[in-house]
Amino acid sequence: MSRRSLIAAVLATAVVTAAVSVSVTRLTGQSARPTRTGDGKPNISGVWQVNNEANWDLQAHDARPGAVTQQGVYPYAYAQVPAAPVLALGAAAIVPGSIGVVQGDRQIPYTAAAAARKTENGAHWVDRDPELKCYLPGIPRATYMPYPFQIVQSSNKIQMIYTFSNAARTIHLDTVAGPPDDTWMGHSVGRWDGDTLVVDVTHFNDKTWFDRAGNFHSDALHVVERFTPISPDALRYEATIEDPKTFTRPWTIAMPIYRRLEPEVQLLDFPCIDFTEEFMYGHLRRQQLVKHWESDTMAVDIRRKVPPGEQLFDWYGK
């Protein structure tokens, strides 16, 4: 390549880069996003969200007709029907299938006792999953809940703020000793390994879950997360999970995280403490509204009056 053509190539590249920057700015309405911060680190500030089914189940799974199902005509798991808590929602309650996010052999290496516990958790999902009570989601689950989260990247702290439950964590890039107690969201200490943000998370309690399938851990949980930019608008997220009380070896999940490109994107209020009061305390009301106790059984009233003019019900005579 001659010197002149080299110069032409450099200039052409510069023009194209400039044009691309301009078009991205126009498209998203956000101010131009440098791919690097002033101190040369990848710039990961912004609003992000995964686009997968990991919160339903980290492992590969079939679609199923409802978040809660019961036996149908056949005694097969694959032929279950939606159960009462979600029946009224029709197709809106369907759980999508997934190829899973567990790396390697796709297995979660539970000890025998923990495997039994996981199965039991899945069967009692409605009663046990801390998500349903709006409890703090923990790490790594907060990352792949199906809502946006925001990264505020400073020089020695990175704040991650999650829509769900208005949860948050501070990732300390400087030295801060852990809290004198265990926590829901863990104690996060980060460092840059080249272009990868590596976060070491400890000081967990045993109360959070990994997903709605009942995957769980003990207070010996130790998570190492890796956030690696694969483009200005996508990160590869990897979390290695270690917990000798629950698993026979460390295991890893991985998934992309995408930047929310809407020009006016921002985290909005998700007041689930308020919104879950009926779920949690409804049966303790003086006058029941939706749920109540019948002896040792909790009953949820899903009776619905079909409005006149609803064509399908009119057609088959209700």
Contact assessment for residue 196 and residue 227, using Cβ atoms and an 8 Å cutoff: yes
Q: Is 277 in the site for other proteins (CB under 8 A)?
A: yes
Q: Is 300 in the site for other proteins (CB under 8 A)?
A: no
One of 54, 67, 134, 223 touching other proteins (CB under 8 A): 134
One of 107, 266, 295, 297 touching other proteins (CB under 8 A): 266
DSSP single-letter state for residue 102: B
**Least distance from other proteins to the Cβ atom of residue 224, Å:** 20
Q: Return the CA Rg of the chain.
A: 24
Of 314, 291, 298, 306, give the one whose Cα is nearest residue 90. 306
**Least distance from other proteins to the Cβ atom of residue 258, Å:** 19
DSSP single-letter state for residue 51: -
| Strand ranges for 247-318 from DSSP E | 251-259, 291-294, 297-300
Give the C-alpha separation, 258 to 52, whole Å: 11
**Mapping DSSP to helix (H, G, I), strand (E, B) and coil, where does residue 266 land?**
coil
DSSP single-letter state for residue 298: E
- The piece of 53-61, 88-96, 99-107, 284-292 that touches other proteins (CB under 8 A) is 284-292
**Least distance from other proteins to the Cβ atom of residue 17, Å:** 13
Q: Is 116 in the site for other proteins (CB under 8 A)?
A: no
DSSP single-letter state for residue 233: T
Of 231, 151, 245, 262, give the one whose Cα is nearest residue 199. 151
What is each CA distance from 262 to 46, 118, 177, 265, in whole angstroms? Answer: 11, 38, 38, 5
One of 48, 135, 209, 210 touching other proteins (CB under 8 A): 135
Q: Is 274 in the site for other proteins (CB under 8 A)?
A: yes
Q: Is 218 in the site for other proteins (CB under 8 A)?
A: no
Q: Is 31 in the site for other proteins (CB under 8 A)?
A: yes
Judged by CB under 8 A, how many residues of this single chain contact other proteins?
55
Phi then psi for 79, rounded to 5 degrees?
A: -115, 25
Q: Is 183 in the site for other proteins (CB under 8 A)?
A: yes
Give the C-alpha separation, 188 to 170, whole Å: 7
The amino acid occupying position 108 is I
One of 159, 202, 240, 252 touching other proteins (CB under 8 A): 159
Q: Is 170 in the site for other proteins (CB under 8 A)?
A: yes
Q: Is 150 in the site for other proteins (CB under 8 A)?
A: yes
Q: Is 181 in the site for other proteins (CB under 8 A)?
A: yes
One of 179, 275, 306, 314 touching other proteins (CB under 8 A): 179
Question: Which residues are at the interface with other proteins (CB under 8 A)?
Answer: 3-4, 7, 30-31, 37-39, 45, 130, 133-136, 150-155, 157-159, 161, 166-170, 176-181, 183-185, 207, 264, 266-269, 271, 273-274, 277, 280-281, 284-287, 289
